[in-house]
């Protein structure tokens, strides 16, 4: 199975596309200009709203973010001696966790996190954790690596947290794991030390570009190589020593990279409401601001194959494709699926079990 992670330009946006067996498995859109997602600021609390269990923080001049109070428990107040409570006017260190969408303000957190390929260090939550996808024997090996790392003593003394990511499962070089942990620890120390001396609205940490973050968030076994026709991205990825995959620059003048991988047609498929199934049935996927509705339609197939059993077969095929489309389109939140009605209750139960294990 040949899997490639592609970076190319499409309609004034940078796309990353994950292809496997010549099928598009994942797509992400990156801004041409770097945003603030993951950046750390010295913010000032504008007001606290107990009714919604949150406060609003000005993290840059005239830029307001939303900070849930459950995230504010990790706040470090910089302009006064705090006894555990927050007040309007407090200066605190915040990190942008989610970008603003339409009328929604960006989401902020005081539990700062620095992410590497194999681990995450948190400044706030001091728990030590391992990805739930790690097998028990692998977890034991990585736990030994973590607690014997020279950085671990300092992490415990400073009451920082660590999460070992799934990507570490296939890591064979212990030194690579320890070097990344040391780098993340050094950067977290710099942020916390520098934050005490910087003025309000200062940006004290700018995360790696979204291209690097995209690679860090993929499992290493999901792709075999990286391909791009953008010199800037190629140079940036090539200089990032933590990327262990082969990186190629595409410069064939006869056919563009976008045409070679049929990006325009693939993107049209991703954006279309109707998704055809091999059986001849189809899905209708309609996202709204509140939820996503997916309708399973048998089309004209019932005229060829009447009966409840064919509906069960179509529903199983639809369930598999829906699971694929949810990941491909990055759909989350409330999702309502209207499967074809089945007459047998045991088939409804079996369909639900089948869908949950996909």
For the segment 256-271, the average pLDDT, to the nearest whole number, is 90
Q: Which two tokens stand for residue 198?
A: 């910087």
> How do residues 81-138 score in pLDDT, each as one tens digit?
877 788 999 999 999 999 888 788 999 999 999 999 899 999 988 999 999 999 999 9
Contact 294, 285 (CB under 8 A): yes
> How do residues 278-316 score in pLDDT, each as one tens digit?
888 999 999 988 899 999 998 767 555 555 578 888 999
How many CB atoms are located within 10 Å of the residue 52 CB? Answer: 11
Bridge-based pairing of strands 292-297 and 282-287 is: antiparallel
| Percent of the chain's residues with pLDDT above 90 | 57
Q: What is the 3-state secondary structure (H, E, C) of 249-303?
A: ECCCCCCCHHHHCCHHHHHHHHHCCEEECCCCCEEEEEECCCCEEEEEECCCHHH
- Average pLDDT over the chain reads 89
The domain limits of the chain are 3-32+211-263, 40-110, 112-197, 272-356
- Fold of domain 112-197: Ribosomal Protein S5; domain 2 (3.30.230)
For domain 3-32+211-263, is the CATH number 2.60.40? no
Q: Which two tokens stand for residue 208?
A: 């790696």
So what's the architecture of 40-110 in CATH? Beta Barrel (2.40)
> How do residues 92-101 score in pLDDT, each as one tens digit?
999 999 988 8
- Predicted structure pTM score: 0.70
Contact 96, 138 (CB under 8 A): no
For the segment 229-244, the average pLDDT, to the nearest whole number, is 86
Angle between helices 174-197 and 136-147 (to 10 degrees): 60
Is pLDDT at 339 greater than 60 in this prediction? yes
The CA R_g of the chain, rounded to the nearest whole Å, is 24
Would you place residue 1 in the very low, low, confident or very high pLDDT band (cuts 50, 70, 90)? low
DSSP label at 168?
A: G
Q: Taking Cα atoms as reference points, which of 287, 304, 303 lies closest to residue 295?
A: 287
How many CB atoms are located within 10 Å of the residue 249 CB? Answer: 16
> How do residues 176-205 score in pLDDT, each as one tens digit?
999 999 999 999 999 999 988 899 999 999
Sign, CA torsion 225/227/231/233? negative
């Amino acid at each position: 199975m040949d899997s490639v992670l592609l970076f190319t330009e499409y309609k004034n946006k940078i796309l990353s596309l994950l292809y496997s067996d010549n099928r598009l498995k994942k797509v992400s859109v990156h801004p041409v200009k770097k945003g603030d997602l993951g950046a750390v600021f010295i913010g000032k609390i504008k007001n606290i709203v107990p009714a919604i269990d949150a406060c609003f923080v000005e993290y840059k001049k005239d830029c307001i973010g939303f900070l849930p109070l459950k995230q504010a428990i990790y706040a470090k107040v910089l302009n006064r001696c705090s006894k555990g409570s927050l007040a309007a006017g407090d200066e605190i260190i915040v990190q942008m966790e989610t970008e603003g969408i339409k009328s929604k303000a960006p989401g902020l957190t005081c539990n700062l996190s620095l992410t590497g390929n194999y681990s995450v260090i948190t400044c706030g939550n001091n728990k030590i954790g391992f990805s739930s996808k790690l097998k028990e024997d692998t977890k034991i090996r990585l736990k030994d690596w973590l607690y014997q790392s020279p950085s671990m003593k300092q992490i415990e003394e400073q009451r920082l947290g660590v999460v070992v990511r799934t990507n570490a499962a296939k890591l064979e070089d212990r030194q690579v794991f320890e070097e990344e942990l040391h780098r993340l620890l050094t950067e977290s120390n710099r942020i916390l030390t520098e934050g005490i001396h910087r003025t309000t609205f200062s940006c004290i940490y700018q995360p790696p570009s979204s291209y690097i973050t995209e690679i860090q968030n993929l499992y290493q076994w999901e792709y075999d190589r990286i391909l791009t026709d953008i010199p800037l991205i190629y140079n940036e990825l090539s200089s990032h020593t933590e990327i262990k995959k082969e990186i190629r620059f595409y410069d064939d003048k006869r056919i563009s990279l976008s045409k070679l991988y049929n990006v325009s047609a693939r993107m049209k498929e991703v954006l279309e409401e109707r998704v055809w199934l091999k059986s001849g049935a189809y899905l209708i996927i309609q996202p709204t601001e509140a939820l996503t509705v997916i309708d399973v339609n048998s089309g004209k197939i019932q005229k060829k194959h009447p009966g409840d059993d064919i509906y069960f077969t179509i529903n199983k095929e639809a369930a598999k494709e829906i699971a694929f489309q949810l990941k491909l389109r990055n759909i989350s939140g409330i999702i309502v699926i209207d499967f074809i009605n089945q007459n047998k209750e045991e088939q409804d139960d079996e369909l639900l079990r089948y869908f949950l294990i996909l």
